[in-house]
Structures are given as structure tokens and as C-alpha cells.
Amino acid sequence: MKIAVLVKQVIGSESALEISQDKKWINESNATFVMNPPDNYAIEEAILIKEKIGVGEVVIVSMGPARVQKVIREGLSKGADRGIHIETEDLKDIDPLYISKVFAEKLRDENFDLILSGLQSDDIGMGQTGVLLGELLNMSTATLAIETDIDLNKIRVKRELESGWFQWVELDSPSSISIQSGINQPRYPSLKGIMGAKKKEIKVIQASQIEKKQSISEIFIPKKSKETEFIEMEIDSTVERIVDILKTEVKVF
């Protein structure tokens, strides 16, 4: 089974976040970049599936500037077989459809049996790329996977629904599945894995010039304000005003 894992590099949670002068993105000059935490679970699930089947290949796929090869190497050090780096300099105009179209064009000839992705990214958190890519590649799709039962003959996924409900679904091959955080316990790279990752292939290809349908207008810090209202009325009017505030402003009922 040939498995792709989509991995994104994001600004680490411990970095000081400062809005850039044009208010379009974060100032990246002092930022520390790390692997998107939910993607660790997708990598681990792909490796577990390969170990269960006994044959196959796990490929780490990431898009971005040269620095994203760091997270590709991290995936290789955990046990993935090779990497694909779709190189592009500008990821500020975040558009899941654009990203998915680029992935689809560059990965179509790979003929993956399975594409796994983390549920969402820690920076934007739209959670759409895996589903959109599956649609563009004519794959069956599933989201919020908290358990998998996958071998050479079947693809079954347990999905998390609302209000504590779950469902098992069986998918046709090929499939694109978004993995829920907590589905497994991601492994740490071993020293042998880190050394071996240096010798594994990372194929670098240029991103396509596809029209973007979405852009960021402005990033800003939410403004907080405090306001006190003194209610000095007759008792009936006071009660009526308090009830109105609870209904229309506080919205408790």
C-alpha cells in the first residue's frame, strides 16, 4: 500500500507572535517553525498501517519554502520512506482550494492508495485540505478518524460525531482520511532514524501557478472594552431592563 502523509510547517506555540507591518500575516523573522502537531498523528498512523500490512511505502508531502524540508526530515526519521517537497515561497495568502489543487496536480501520477492528513493546522485551522484533495483526485474521503482498520483488502474508519456519537464507515480505495489528534501515541525519532533520514530521498518540485480564490485582508488583535450600566428606575422597569439585557446582550435565555 502506498501512503502519502500531508505535513505542514507552522509557527511554534512558544514563538512571540507579532503582526507584520502590512497586517497581512505574522512577523516571521523571530519565529520558530515546527511540524504542525496534528500531523504527527497522521504520520504515526501511516507507519502503523504499513507495519501491520508488512509491505508498502510511506511518503511525507509538504508545501512551502526550503525550510519545510526540516519537517519532512523529521517524518523520515520516524520511519517514512521518502519525501516530496512542493516548493513555493509565498504561503501568506492561505487558500485551502489553491493548496489542494497544487497537491492534486503534483501527486496525481503517484497513484497513492491512501492519503492521510492531520485534522487541521495550528495556524489557520480550516481543516479542509484533506477533503478537497480527495475530491480533486476522485478519492473516497472521511474526516475525524479516531480509529482505523486498514489492510490490503479493506479501508474501515471509526469517525467521531457530535454529542458523543461515533460511526464506522467503509471506504473504497483510494481514500483520503483526516486523522483526529489522539488517535495514537506518536513515536519519537530514534538516533538510528535521524541518521538514516539524511540518506532518504526528498524530491523537490516547483508549485504550479494556480489562481488563488482567497486572500487575507487583515490580521488584528481582538479589541476588548468594558462598559457599566447603572439601572436606576422603578422596580418594574428595572426588572424589565435586566431581563432584556439577559435576553439580547448576555443571551443566557
Residue 234 forms part of a structural domain: no
Domain holding 130, by residue range, is 2-206
Residue 241 forms part of a structural domain: no
We report the CATH number of the domain holding residue 70 as 3.40.50.620
Consecutive H or E run containing 149: strand 140-150
Q: How many domains does the chain have?
A: 1
Give residue-wise pLDDT tens across range 92-129. 667 889 899 999 999 999 999 999 999 999 888 889 99
Residue 252 forms part of a structural domain: no
Residue 95 forms part of a structural domain: yes
The per-residue pLDDT for 92 is 65
Closest to 146 measured CA to CA, from 182, 117, 172, 118: 182
Cis omega before residue 38 (within 30°)? no
pTM of the prediction? 0.84
Give residue-wise pLDDT tens across range 186-225. 999 999 999 999 999 999 999 888 777 777 888 888 887 7
